[in-house]
Structure 1
Amino acid sequence: MSETVPSRQAQKERTREAILAAALGLSHDHGFAQLSLRQVTRAAGVVPTAFYRHFDSMDEVGLALVEQSFTTLRGMIRDAQRNPDIVDNLIDASADVLVAAVKANREHFAFVARERLGGSATVRAAIQHELELFISELALFLARIPQLARWSGEDVKMVSGLFVRNMVYRAEQVVETPVGRPDLEEEIKRKARREMRMVVLGFKAWRSDA
């Protein structure tokens, strides 16, 4: 009996992951909003009744994929907070980390890039919510930078938003970059660094009461 319960739980988790993986893969060609439950269950190798043991609707699948995708971004921030090299070399390190993270999780970043402006309204709203959370988390990290010590919380969050919007744009470019083109990846990093430096140059001159 003690072996059966963990085995059933493991099988249940495998089924859930198979459904999510199938939806993620199919969304690449068709767009998530165009997918049907039957398409996903067929690709996952499960019957439709098994789907409803894990999700109430396709929108719930989309929300789970959004959560999976942003787990990577949240991990990037937490790793940065523990890494003194990133804190000391924020601009260069951020560009390197971003490109590496997108390459390692290309399908999830591609999903966010496709769905954040089109498709399911539920999924779009979830992506926007996650981006706002990401901006808030990054703002907590940026507040540790000495040049921002006297800034208001609103202004720190504003500059965090500038960084995040730049990262999203550059991440979408990495997604579209053909595999095996490090020259194009380096050009994306170069542009991202220049843009971030332009923002940072304004740190000293900015006053929150301006």
Structure 2
Amino acid sequence: MVEPVVLSRQEQKERTRQAILVAALELSGESGFAQLSLRQVARRAGIVPTAFYRHFTSMDDVGLALVEQCFQTLRAMIRDAQRDPETFADIIDASAEILVRVVKQNKTHFGFVARERASGSDSVRQAIQRELELFISELAVVLARLPHIEDWSSEDVRMAAGLFVRNMVYRAEQVVHAPDGRADVEEDIKRKARREMRLIVLGFEKWRS
């Protein structure tokens, strides 16, 4: 006979918190996060509304937690790129491959960012903007090691990182909306992303801070 798994109080609390986040993420894909009510999310998560307040103070609090989760995925993508021994030998091809693979694996998270950065509540949109700026800063640290950039000002390195991030966000949104099973569409997105990134990199050698 298999003994039932007994969770600690902390494990139960974290499981319920994750259930709330998953419910909010799923429901936001159906009607937009700003339209969600606490009761809808509690019902989908399988809890009573009063239990919601043991984990979050408001729906805005849930939105901020979802933004944080989404950008943890983006940071993991950058860490994957840095761990890849071939990344700096061919950073553009590696970036395009990693971008499409990670977005496909996390479509709900990237879809949330794509929707809410333009039409979400003020607090969620501002949180996404802050995270994008932080993401640009982290990417700038990586780019600063590349040839032709080591003598640039920090402002110019951030500018280059911003160009890459805007390209990545745009192409990530295309992956989110791409039909499942369409390898040809994914390859076209990667091809366009590579071309655009190469165009950015071509300017590195000639640019003077």
Structure 1 and Structure 2 fold alike (TM over 0.5): yes
Q: Deviations over 1:92-115 (max 9, x none)?
A: 000000000000000000000000
Cα offset for 1:195? 0.4
Q: Distance in 2 between matches of 1:193 and 1:174?
A: 14
Which amino acid is the alignment partner of residue 194 of structure 1? R
What residue is the counterpart of 1:79 in the other structure?
80
Deviation at 1:80, TM superposition (A): 1.9
Partner of 2:200: 199
CA RMSD of aligned residues (A): 1.0
User: Amino acid of the residue matched to residue 142 of structure 2?
Assistant: F
Matched, 1:53 2:54: yes
Q: CA deviation at 1:181?
A: 0.2
For residue 120 of structure 2, what is the aligned residue in structure 1? Answer: 119
Residue 96 in structure 1 maps to residue 97 in structure 2: yes
State whether residues 81 and 98 of structure 2, in contact with CA within 8 Å, keep that contact through their aligned partners in structure 1.
no
Gaps of 5+ in 2: 1-5
Identity %: 72
Equivalence for 2:185: 184
Alignment deviations for residues 98-134 of structure 1 (CA, whole Å, 9 cap, x no partner): 0000000000000000000112110000000000000
User: Can you list the C-alpha shifts for 1:14-65, whole angstroms capped at 9, x where unaligned?
Assistant: 1000000000000001100000000000000000111000000000000000
Counterparts of 1:59 and 1:86, CA distance in 2: 38
Amino acid at match of 2:134: L
How many Å separate the matches in 2 of 1:153 and 1:70? 23
Residue in 2 aligned with 1:134?
Answer: 135
Query: CA separation in 2, counterparts of 1:41 and 1:8?
Result: 19
In structure 2, C-alpha distance between the alignment counterparts of 1:43 and 1:204, rounded to whole Å: 53
Q: Quote how far apart the aligned CAs of 1:83 are.
A: 2.1
Which residue is equivalent to 2:35? 34
Give the CA deviation at 1:81: 2.0
Letter in 2 for 1:95: A
State the Cα distance separating 1:84 from its structure 2 match: 2.1
Rounded to whole Å, the distance in 1 between the matches of 2:83 and 2:148 is: 20
- Partners of 2:27 and 2:36 within 8 A in 1: yes
The Cα shift of 1:6 comes to 6.0
Output the CA distance in 1 between the equivalents of 2:78 and 2:110. Answer: 16
Using the TM superposition, give the Cα deviation of residue 178 of structure 1 relative to its aligned residue in structure 2, in angstroms: 0.5
Shift of 1:198: 0.5
